[in-house]
Structure 1
């Protein structure tokens, strides 16, 4: 670690590094748009292809999420061994082609296979990109760089709702009728084809990224070594992975059901509800990603790398506050504000946790570590979050219990995350008291 803190390390934060961050942020935005745009066209897909609600749920969830989770670790291991830029280029080419194939699917199975392709391709992006960014920057700027990269997820979620709605409106107005191959397609099919194209446009820009030199790399680390690193220091790195999974339960519990709550309980239209949720998560996401990353860099410059983790204390306190506020929200805007507080803590913890994990392990397993955290988040978050809410509502709160059920699931998830992460945070607090001014300052 000491070598990473040498003064000449700061020179690595060059224009080349910021170019890589910008293009990778755009790639992440495209990935989230392609992943989530299906939410806008569930009913037209079901009607045209004659699907059941269960089949739609497989396309919406398992067809993407399970493959995304299972492919994450192999993708991370691959990124720790070969050129990371090339892994990303292959991934974006695959998921963009698969997104277009979703718009051309003729039945359930062809659509399902296309969604599997989206999951496989997107699984390659975040582990490889995060590892690449870490090697482009010194410890003094990593939080800011990864925070800017994470903006792609924040804006991608809003883009899927906003731009997707615009494209559907333009399609209904006949704007694309004169385009060969696309014009004869139904509106929902045109949507998938059109949102799949930008990924290919990014490929030439990605190829301009120069693969940075891996710091202190001695080749791919054996799995036994990976496990030892995860369990070292009272399992600090594994704990960060696990809390991301725990918070994922709360993330998906809230974002999956908040639009429904706003429509059922507060009389909003689908467009109004979607717009309010997008505004909440986008605003919090920008503040948490950029501000959280920059604040963590400031902490490192003043008190040293081991103290960065202390900021997770504030992040997870915010998630507890947001979940608690959800119990008492009496209006639609109040519910959205409570979600914004949750998102501020959750996204901030996501960004800072990414940096903490990668600074705590050797270069040879950085992408693998990120992939493990994504796998845990996908399996726990997508697998449990949306399903726990109706179960708690039915068996604990009864009819009309959607709001307290959402709050309960999120609060339990936040408290669990806080308990799991407390030992390494406590160690960071000790380092903070013992080292009032770091050599980085």
Structure 2
């Protein structure tokens, strides 16, 4: 399978778009991913004001953070992936950006739990199209030995988006509190958290014309969509590598979203930080770790693929998930807000590195006809397990495992540690196969 894929990619090299067109597409898609994560996660910075204004419990807030977004994100993921394998990916992405940007603005206008929940559902529906379609575009725009770096650059959008949601959100809240927007008609008198939602939803509309300048690359296949039976066959091939990577992304996602959803609140409740201080600290932690993991993970995986073959990329996940275990354990024992943020940075270094490497591993273990579908499947699993359960598990563990609101940090550490240990166990068989493949090439 690997040899035939290499031959096909080499034969089609002449039809690959120019490097400048490829990197322009990566830059615009990275910007779209940044905005998607900003709009997805901005709610985490204003949990307590929303809870107070709408009279919500922590569990209801967690549903807005997680399940409200994740359910439709999961349900729409696979259909969007199948669409991306058969229609113009650029236009599908543009439609998604339009929908989620408008829905983020609608979050700021919500009057109760259910109207907020409906707006979050629409955010999830719009974002479901982005990563499958963008991944398919990037794979067709770059040669096999540059895909790791290209996908790593694209994933920077998630890193900067997570940091931007917290850092820029904190800055905007400061400006709002200072009265910078008080004279703006219609919205100036809104509560700060409402105005914040509206302001972060607007940039998506400015990005649309730039996205439409991306040149759709020629499809690297002519056989059309694979039958579902063939899709399932590829998921189970090579010791179920693709399926296992999908599963570990979901399991580890529970830890990701448990920490991202509640760390800003922990820093404010337990360590007395302001929203700006909490957002800046978490944003700095995930940005530094994310940039390092995205670029180093992509480039290192390319180097390993060139030296020992593409099937050995997966061994890098061993180091990535070891880091997540160390980060989760450190959260349990952190005594200050700075220590908690540093522990989160260690977690993020491993988690984001694993995301980038796993992304390429999945793409290289399936034919071109199902690349977007494969990514969509991983996003569906991540949405159901990670986004859907992660934020809600924390208050549930607090209530039923530790018996009090003062144990938020212990619950966060417990959820993330269990998630990282499970991910390590699930991914071990493909890692073992990767080591065997590397030894055979020595």
Q: TM-score, normalised by structure 2?
A: 0.91
Tell me the equivalent position of 2:343.
Answer: 338
Residue 92 of structure 1: CA displacement? Answer: 0.4
Q: Give the 3 Å change call, closer, same or farther, for CA 108–253 of structure 1 in structure 2.
A: closer
- Report if aligned partners of 1:80, 1:220 keep a CA contact under 8 Å in 2: yes
Tell me the equivalent position of 1:6.
Answer: 10
Tell me the equivalent position of 2:208.
Answer: 203
- Report if aligned partners of 1:93, 1:121 keep a CA contact under 8 Å in 2: yes
2:142 to 137, 148, 158: 137
Residue 143 of structure 1: CA displacement? Answer: 0.9
Question: What CA distance in whole angstroms lies between the structure 2 residues aligned with 1:192 and 1:401?
Answer: 29
3-state SS of 2:108 partner: helix
Q: Give the 3 Å change call, closer, same or farther, for CA 272–255 of structure 1 in structure 2.
A: same
1:233 to 228, 234, 238: 238
- Report if aligned partners of 1:314, 1:345 keep a CA contact under 8 Å in 2: yes
Tell me the equivalent position of 1:430.
Answer: 436
Residue 72 of structure 1: CA displacement? Answer: 0.9
Q: Give the 3 Å change call, closer, same or farther, for CA 36–258 of structure 1 in structure 2.
A: closer
Tell me the equivalent position of 1:353.
Answer: 358
Residue 48 of structure 1: CA displacement? Answer: 4.8
Residue 428 of structure 1: CA displacement? Answer: 1.2
Q: How does 1:31-430 map to 2 (within 5 A)?
A: 31-49=36-54, 55-393=60-398, 396=401, 401-430=407-436
Q: TM-score, normalised by structure 1?
A: 0.91
Residue 93 of structure 1: CA displacement? Answer: 0.8
- Report if aligned partners of 2:95, 2:126 keep a CA contact under 8 Å in 1: yes
Stretch deviating more after TM superposition (393-402 or 193-202): 393-402
Q: Give the 3 Å change call, closer, same or farther, for CA 111–393 of structure 1 in structure 2.
A: closer
- Report if aligned partners of 1:12, 1:138 keep a CA contact under 8 Å in 2: no
Residue 283 of structure 1: CA displacement? Answer: 1.0
Q: Give the 3 Å change call, closer, same or farther, for CA 300–13 of structure 1 in structure 2.
A: farther
3-state SS of 1:140 partner: helix
Q: Give the 3 Å change call, closer, same or farther, for CA 367–175 of structure 1 in structure 2.
A: same
3-state SS of 1:416 partner: helix
Residue 262 of structure 1: CA displacement? Answer: 3.6
3-state SS of 1:411 partner: helix
- Report if aligned partners of 1:254, 1:410 keep a CA contact under 8 Å in 2: yes
- Report if aligned partners of 1:252, 1:386 keep a CA contact under 8 Å in 2: yes
Question: What CA distance in whole angstroms lies between the structure 1 residues aligned with 2:192 and 2:268?
Answer: 25
Stretch deviating more after TM superposition (46-55 or 237-246): 46-55
- Report if aligned partners of 2:66, 2:392 keep a CA contact under 8 Å in 1: no
Question: What CA distance in whole angstroms lies between the structure 2 residues aligned with 1:99 and 1:263?
Answer: 24
Question: What CA distance in whole angstroms lies between the structure 2 residues aligned with 1:171 and 1:373?
Answer: 38
Q: Which runs of 5+ in 2 are unaligned?
A: none
Count of paired positions: 436
Question: What CA distance in whole angstroms lies between the structure 2 residues aligned with 1:348 and 1:198?
Answer: 28
Q: Which runs of 5+ in 1 are unaligned?
A: 437-441
Cα deviations across residues 53-93 of structure 1 (Å, max 9, x unaligned)?
A: 66544433322121112111111111111111111011001
